[in-house]
Amino acid sequence: MRNSYNISILTGILIFATFGCSIKWTEAIRGGYVVNNEIKESVDIEIHNRLIIVPVIINKKKYRFLFDTGAPFSISNKLQKENNFKIISKGNIVDSDQNRKKVNWAQVDSIRIGKVLFMDQTAFVGDFEANPLIKCLKIDGIIGSNLIRHGNWVIDQKQKTISVFRSLERKDYEKYVTIPFKTDHQYNIFVDINLGQSKVKNILVDYGSNGSIAMSNEIFAILKSKGIFKAPLLEKGIKQSGIIGNPVTVKREIIYSDSARIKDLELKNVLIKTGKTVSIGNQFLSRFKVIIDWKNKNLYFSKPEKVADRIGLAGFSLGTSYKKGVYVQSVIEESDAFKNGIRPNMKVVKIDRLDFQNGNDYCDYVRYNLRNEIFIQSIDSQEKRLDYYFKKTFLK
C-alpha cells in the first residue's frame, strides 16, 4: 500500500447527476441481469494509489476496470468505439469537482467478471484520459453501483481478491460488525457515522475515492464548534480529482480524529478533510475486509487487527498540464513543505530521484512512493533552479 501523498489523489472520482433525453437514465440503469443462478466467484485484483482495479472480459477481450461504489457503470470512449454498443440515452454528468459534461449512455451486451456474466448493463461513455491522474491508471471503465447491486460482494484488499456471491450464509459474516445501509436511484450506498456525540447521516461509501473521510464545510464547521475537531490544517490551491479533469480552486481543512465510530466499530487515527462531498473513501475502507449484502442492505466490516497508524502528509500535491508541465497544485499551510517555501504554481523539474526533464513523466510520480524526507527542485521564470528539502508532516 502506498503512503502519504496519495491520499490527495482521486478523492471522490465520481458523483453523478444526469438528465436523460430519450430513455431516462434512472430507468435505464434499472435494467440488466446476471446469467448465473448460483454465483460464487473470486478474482484477483490490483491496488494502485489505494484504488481497486478488477479484470473484466468484454467480447472475449480483457480490460481493466475501476471498482467504484460511488459511480454508475462506465466504459471508455475507446472501448465504445471498439464494440459499437447501442446508445440508449443522452445526458449530463457532474463529477466530484462539480464539473458538468454531456455523455452518452450505452447498453453493454455482456461483461464477465471471472465466470460471472452480467447482461444488458447500462453504462455511460466516459473520457478516462481527460484527467491526468485517471489517465495514469490506464483503466477502460468503471464497475459501478448499478452493476454491483446485482450480487453480493466480498472485498478483501489484504488478500487482493474480490468475490461475487448470489447469497450469503450467516457463517460468512457472523464475526463481522453489521452496518445497515441506505441506497438511492443510482444504487449508491450510504451509512451513518458518529463523531464524538454527533451523528453524521447518509455518508457515501465510495470505493472510487482513495481518500479517507470527506465532510462538507458546513458539517465540519458544526463539529468544530462542538470541540470535536481542534486545530485543523488548511490546504489551499487547486485540485483536479474528477473524471472531467478541469482544475478547481481548493480550500479545505484537514485533521486526524480518534472520535469516529460506525455502529459498534470504534476507529482511531481517521484522516478527515473538508470538501464538496460527504463520503468514506478507500484509504479508510482498506482497513477492513468488507462484505456488501445487497439483499438485506447491510455492510459487514471485519474487526481491525490493530489500530491504524497516522500517515505522514507530503504537504503538497502535484499536477500536470501541457503549458506548465509538472507543477505544484496545492500546499498545506503549516506543513513542513510550506514552511520550507513550497507554493502553488511552482514548476517542478525534479522530485527525489524523478527527473521530469530527463526521462520521467507525471505518471512516474503518481506511481512513486515518497519517503519521509523529500527533495524538490523547481525552476522559475528566469530559468533559475531552486532546491527544497523538507519532511512529511505528521498531524498530532
Q: For the domain 182-287, what is the CATH code? A: 2.40.70.10
Lowest mean pLDDT among 244-258, 334-348, 379-393: 244-258
Q: Quickly state the pLDDT bin for 307 (edges 50, 70, 90).
A: confident
Here the cell at position 177 is: 460488525
Higher pLDDT, 11 or 217: 217
The per-residue pLDDT for 17 is 43
Instruction: Give the pLDDT score at 329.
Output: 96
Grid coordinates in use for 360? 520521467
pLDDT at 37: 67
Whether residue 19 is predicted with pLDDT greater than 50 in this model: the reply is no
The pLDDT of residue 5: 35
Q: Which residue has the higher pLDDT, 380 or 388?
A: 388
3-class DSSP state of 145: helix
Q: Which of 13-17, 40-44, 212-216, 319-323 has the lowest average pLDDT?
A: 13-17
Distance, in Å, from the CA atom of 136 to the CA atom of 292, rounded to the nearest integer, reads 28
Task: Assess whether pLDDT exceeds 90 at residue 10.
Answer: no
- Hey, which residues does 191 pair with through a beta bridge? 203
| Superfamily (CATH) of domain 4-165 | Acid Proteases (2.40.70.10)
Q: Which three cell numbers stand for residue 118?
A: 452480467
Mean of pLDDT over the chain: 89
CA distance 47 to 51: 5
Q: What is the pLDDT of residues 246-300, one digit of tens each?
A: 888 999 999 999 989 998 888 889 999 998 889 999 999 999 999 999 989 999 9
Q: What is the pLDDT of residues 81-125, one digit of tens each?
A: 999 999 998 877 777 777 788 889 999 999 999 999 999 999 999
- pLDDT (mean) for 155-172: 90
Q: What is the average per-residue pLDDT within 324-336?
A: 96
Rounded CA gap, 204 and 214, in Å? 9
Tell me the per-residue pLDDT of 353-363, one tens digit each, with 9 for 90 and over.
999 999 999 99
Phi and psi dihedrals of 243, rounded to 5?
Answer: -65, -30
Q: In this predicted model, which residue has the larger pLDDT, 14 or 334?
A: 334
Closest to 143 (Cα-Cα) out of 60, 87, 84, 207: 207
Q: How far apart are CA 6 and CA 11, in angstroms?
A: 9
Q: Where are the domains of the chain?
A: 4-165, 182-287, 316-391
Buried b (16+ CB within 10 A) or exposed e, 228-248: bbeebbebebbbbbbbbbebe
Do 66 and 46 contact (CB within 8 A), yes or no? no
pLDDT (average), residues 313-340: 95
pTM: 0.92
Q: For residue range 21-79, list pLDDT tens digits in order.
A: 456 777 888 889 998 767 889 999 999 989 999 999 999 999 999 999 999 999 999 99
Calculate what percentage of the chain has a pLDDT beyond 70: 94
Whether residue 15 has pLDDT greater than 70: no
Q: In the prediction, which pLDDT does 9 show?
A: 39
Q: Please tell me if the domain spanning 4-165 has the same topology as the one spanning 182-287.
A: yes
Amino acid in the structure at residue 76: S
Q: What is the torsional sign of CA 83, 89, 95, 99?
A: positive
> What CATH number should be reported for the domain whose range is 316-391?
2.30.42.10
